[in-house]
Structure 1
Amino acid sequence: MVPSFTFIATASMVTAAGGKPVFCDVDRETFLIDLADAARKLTEKTKAIAPVHLFGNPCDIDAVQAFAKQHDLTIVWDAAQAHGAQYKNQDIGSVEDFVCYSFYPSKNMFVGEGGMVCTNNADYAEKLRFLRTHGQTGKYYHTLLGLNYRMTDVEAAIGREQLKRLDQMVAIRRRNAEILDRGLGQIEGISLQGKTANSEHAWHQYCVLVEPDAFGCDRDTLAQSLKEKGVASGVHYPRGLHQQPIFEDLYGKQEDLLTTEYLAQHILALPVHHGLSQEEAEYIVKAVAESRG
């Protein structure tokens, strides 16, 4: 079970492992996996669920774990955008079964490329160590089919230093998000991402929905106006995974997922990164307000 509104890696890992991703819709407010839709698509072949802490907004971990337990599913958490996020005062990387992080340069902490898998299961951890080095369980002795997923020493050194700064960097992102929330929340036609209760958002991305009728122009027109005012923006994501050509080629035309498709047409990402000053965050609010039709 994979939410359709996410980056392709969440689903491609399923295909690469020999499985078939079943695409679920997402919640209109939080942009996170809709468990009710997932429940409708369960079959006896369903083995796992891959919830995404999208843009750094933690899923309702209790609800996902209860769902997985009820249906005997393994959970592979996609935390690629959620470094530093917390749920009920617990780091989201500390829950079972697997938590996957990305260290791509745009992430809250980065080493240049690659990622990390966390697990609190000793057997899983041992197998992951073998899989990352060609399935080698002894010197030139291979009992599993693995690949080369080793991080270089230089990347690891960068990551260790980044980790020391993570709390500080996420705190700045949260400060910037608060400024954006206060200002943009007052602008008619701009809808903010709903934050999961009892959680701390990590704000990898700050995304809003632009409602054209109320705002006076559509998402793309706003993005162009912001560009002219010196404010960068982006679209994450312009289509759902169920609309990606590769998955249509592999599995045929997928059913419509209305919320995912709505988000793809209206979402816009604004700067929130830890290099952004308070004054710059306030300028972004002003630029959006001045762009209103």
Structure 2
Amino acid sequence: MSSMPIATQPTLYRIHPASFRDGNGDGVGDAHGMLAALPYLKALSIDGLLLPQTLAPGAEATVTGEGLTLWYGDEANRVRNAVAPRRFAHGALALDVMPFSAEKLVAVLHARRTTLADSLWSTGDADQPRVVSRWGQGDLRSAAAFLTLLAMLPAPICLYQGEELGLPHAAGLQDPRGAQTPMPWHEAPEQVTAGEISWYQQVAIEHRALAISRQQHDSHSTLRYCQALLALRRSPLIQHGELNEVSQRDGVVRLLITHQDQCLEALINLQPYTQAAAPSEATLPLAWQHGAQQEGHQWVLAGFASAIFTRHVNCESRGVTHG
């Protein structure tokens, strides 16, 4: 297998094979189903796949031939690239912040600020409740906020399958099964083929309205939001920048990322209610906003909303200010 270039700060996608996609009609996810989903993953701006076990050589070649790298997890909770020597441990983001609070989250990031890129950061996996339910208390709006927080980190990150859809934990199932239900590829039974019926019948009822077939055509969906967000993540500021400062006030997290003479400042409201916050300078070029509106020198952030600013001047480290 030939060596392939790896993104400086890659975005990986963690797959639980049995519940990702069925390729042969037996109702269980398999390698054929995963390979059929590669165009979907590439449209997400995913750089590589994180799998619990190795693929057959032919399947590996298909994945890498599509420009994606392969990473494998081991029992020591480390991640290794299938080709390059780079390794890193799982990040502590999902594990150390329980029960969730913005203060604890900021403390974890601040403590690891200078070594952020040494770990793979994630907010979910197959063995714990989905982040929308675990951190967002089931509020579907929270998916966008946690995706924004993760995507803005200048470090390797990993999405767990379904996070890009904003899936909540499947109701009525004991952990970890609620995070391992089949991916909702189709919303309605008339959309599936005969070979997909068994799979569709296993999809959690509450996940069907969040199916890929529906979200792909909704410009305001979590999936479309995630696609745009991960494309933004490929900017040099995030790929080559450093986390200069992280702070929070009343649940609004502020990230300050610097690279050469450029600066990115993100304000992310991790609360379900509206809050006003101001960036470190009164007038900044807006690069991104989701549920945010400017009022004077402040930005009013709806519940779980965010605003991202960039500028080409020296960045100053200041905490989030509120009006």
**Same fold per TM (> 0.5)?**
no
> TM-score when scaled to structure 2?
0.28
Q: Which is richer in strand?
A: 2
By relative contact order (CA 8 Å, sep 6+), the higher-ranking structure is 1
